[in-house]
Structures are given as structure tokens and as C-alpha cells.
Amino acid sequence: MTASAVIFGCSDLALSDQELDLFRNAAPWGLILFARNVDNPDQVRALIRSFRNCVGRQTAPVFIDQEGGRVARLKPPHWRAAPPSAVFGALYAISPEKAREACYLNARLLADELTELGITADCAPVLDVPTPGSHQIIGDRAFSSDPAIVADLGRQFCAGLLAGGVLPVIKHIPGHGRAGADSHLDLPRVDTRLSELQDSDLVPFRAMAAMPLAMTAHIAYTAIDGLLPASHSRTLIHTVIRKEAGFTGALMCDDLGMAALEGSLAERAQKALEAGCDLVLHCSGVMAEMQEVMRTVPTLSGVALERCEAALTWLQKPDPFDRADAAARLATLLEP
């Protein structure tokens, strides 16, 4: 079946009649969930089932931002409070072996919770490498300020998700760690030369270049393209993300609604696709905005379709797993 080159959010705990009509006609490639869409496990499962039935694709991916720490849409009492990534980086400084195991187990536990609901893609791990003085929008969402450690732990996180039947979405390529502003509110500008990015920011992304999905950063890298954010820069996507970082999977932009981007939502979507993003992401669930985005989003085709189809082939039946044993082992590893 055909699908459009877009991932949409929705407005509430269940799809409205208007959303069902839009999704039925627009056939978005995927759906992304937020806290407003989550109440309890049965409700989430019903929402996901409704979406997939509506678009007519039982393999349609459903995404969520479940990093752990302050970025977690699923919260207690129904779901575990997972630690932020920085916890594993701190453990790595003491014992790399324990940190690798703990990071894998944490991601495997996350995957177990997600697959139980029907969620098949997690917008994680964060592979950004923070630098001194950068905005705290990343902060403890990053594993470490050492790119080699970020790469090592990022690999374990991805492995844990994949073993549990969940696709990782590595982010925010080519790196959000130097940003001095929150791209939700403004366009960050980074002056770092490509040679320096190659030696630091790109290291984790290069290590994860074969992963199925990645999300761009809404950041202008002025030494490479002085005018446009990465999500809208053909130069940056093709030269840095595809060539220098070597990323081969399906590329989705960060949320079109963020203030770092200029123009109407339709213009933002068109610019992202023309620059080389395979998919655009629109998160608000506002009907008028989704209708506007759909006026410019095409049906997936060509290389973009091939990459999206290839991403779904990474999904596997979860490996045998004892959640209680894994949680106990993780708690032991993270003991002070």
C-alpha cells in the first residue's frame, strides 16, 4: 500500500472522526505519540490499533520519544521511570563494562514496554556530544561529552531496542551538542568547521551510520551552509549527513512546528523534502496544520521509499527476555 512522506501526531487519547478521515486519505507513513495521547496501556493499544486499521497497514510504524529522564512520554504508575542517558556515561567513567551492560538492559526494558503497546520506533538514542556553554536542552539527555563514549553507549542502546523489536531513531544528526539555543524556540547557529565536526560531533553518528532511522537537527552550521538549518540544507544533508557521516537509512526531520524553521508549515515541509529528508515530522496534532502539511507532502517513492521499506526490515520478533531479572540486574549495576 502507498504511504505519504510524513509522520503525524494526533490530538487526544483516541482518534477523532476528522483525524480518521485525514489519515485514511493522507496515509501518513507513521504516527508519533506524546503525553497527551497516553493514559493507560489498554488505551494506547486501542489508539495504535485504530491508526493502523485506518491507514490499512499493520506494519505502519508508531513512534514515541522515550529516552528516559526528562524526555519520557510513558510515565509511572503504568511504566518504569528510566534514567537519563548521562547516568550511563557517569558509570562508564567507573566501569565501561558495567555501563555497556546497563545501557543495553535499560534499552531492552524500554523496548519491552513499547512492543507490549504496539509501538515500534523510539526517537532515541541521543547521540549529541555536548560542549561547555551549550544550551541545556540536551544536557543529561546526552551520554557524555566524549564522542567515543557516546558512540559506545549509543551502540548498546540501539542493540537493546532492536533486540526488543523496536527501531531506534538516532538523533539529532549531525549534532545538537554545540547549540547555544533551544531549536524549539529559536534557530541555533554553530560556527564550527567541518574538520572539527568530523573529529567530534560526527563520531557517534558515523559509528551508527547503518542504523535504520535518523532525525535531523534544526541547526544552522554556518561554516558549511551559512543560511539554512540542517533540515533545510541540501548541502549539509548530502555532504555531511550522507557523505561524511555515511548515514544510509531513512532520514526524518525534527518537528516542523519548531521555531527554528521559517515559513509556513507547507513551505517547511517542502524545503525539508527538497533538501534530502525522506520524511517530515509534524507533531502538534492540530488538524488545520496537518491539512496544510498534506498539501505539499508527496507519496513516498524512489530512494526515499526504498529507505523507509528497508528500515522496517530491521523489525524482528523480540528475543526471549525476563523483564524482572533484567530490571533487578540493572538496579544492581546502577547502585552507587
pLDDT tens, position by position, 78-126: 999 999 999 999 999 999 999 999 999 999 999 999 999 999 999 999 9
pTM equals 0.95
Cα–Cα distance for residue pair 58/61, rounded to 1 Å: 8
254 is catalytic: yes
* Cα 89-223-146 angle, rounded to 5 deg: 10
By C-alpha distance, which of 207, 211, 140, 141 is closest to 169?
Answer: 211
Cα–Cα distance for residue pair 328/109, rounded to 1 Å: 11
Considering the candidates 12, 21, 184, 325, report the single residue annotated as catalytic. 184
In order of their start, the domains of the chain are 79-282+305-333 (3.20.20.300)
Angle between helices 96-117 and 147-163 (to 10 degrees): 40
176 is catalytic: no
Q: What sign does the dihedral 71-277-256-194 (CA atoms) show?
A: positive
C-alpha torsion 191→169→11→266, nearest 10: 50
Per-residue model confidence as pLDDT tens for the chain (336 residues): 699 999 999 999 999 999 999 999 999 999 999 999 999 999 999 999 999 999 999 999 999 999 999 999 999 999 999 999 999 999 999 999 999 999 999 999 999 999 999 999 999 999 999 988 777 788 999 999 999 999 999 999 999 999 999 999 999 999 888 876 566 756 788 888 889 999 999 999 999 999 999 999 999 898 898 789 999 999 999 999 999 999 999 999 999 999 889 999 999 999 999 999 999 999 999 999 999 999 999 999 999 999 999 999 999 999 999 999 999 999 999 998
Considering the candidates 254, 255, 278, 282, report the single residue annotated as catalytic. 254
pLDDT tens, position by position, 203-247: 999 999 999 999 999 998 988 987 899 999 999 999 999 999 999
Distance of CA 133 to the CA centre of its chain: 24
